[in-house]
Amino acid sequence: MPQTTSRIFDDIAKLMTDAAGAAEGVRREMEGVMKAQGERVLGAMDLVQREEFEAVKAMAVKAREQNEALTARIAVLEAELSQLKQPKATP
């Protein structure tokens, strides 16, 4: 009888191992399906990629800096023009 009991336990252990392997395969398959589905949904949403967002963000920062520099330059030129238009005092 001990030989039969050992064989039953061996068979149960083999079934458990096979079931664990099958579960792992199902898990990998589900991950692949979920990833593909997620990519399809995100692709349909027409979202911008991170690299493109960062490039546009850098362009906006540069444009803002240029705008501030030009605003300061215009202020200086307007002040100079204002001084040129003032009537000069005659001695």
| Residue bearing tokens 């589905």 | 37
pTM: 0.47
**pLDDT tens digit string along 64-75?**
999 999 999 999
Angle, alpha carbons 74-77-79 (nearest 5°): 110
For residues 85 and 52, state if they share a domain: yes
What's the token pair of residue 14? 């083999």
**pLDDT tens digit string along 33-48?**
999 999 888 888 888 8
| Residue bearing tokens 């979920």 | 34
For residues 74 and 90, state if they share a domain: yes
For residues 19 and 40, state if they share a domain: yes
Split into its structural domains, the chain has a count of: 2
DSSP 8-37: HHHHHHHHHHHHHHHHHHHHHHHHHHHHHH
Q: Can you give the residue range of the structural domain that contains 32?
A: 1-47
For residues 24 and 64, state if they share a domain: no
For residues 38 and 56, state if they share a domain: no
Amino acid identity for residue 41 in this structure: V
For residues 42 and 58, state if they share a domain: no
For residues 36 and 53, state if they share a domain: no
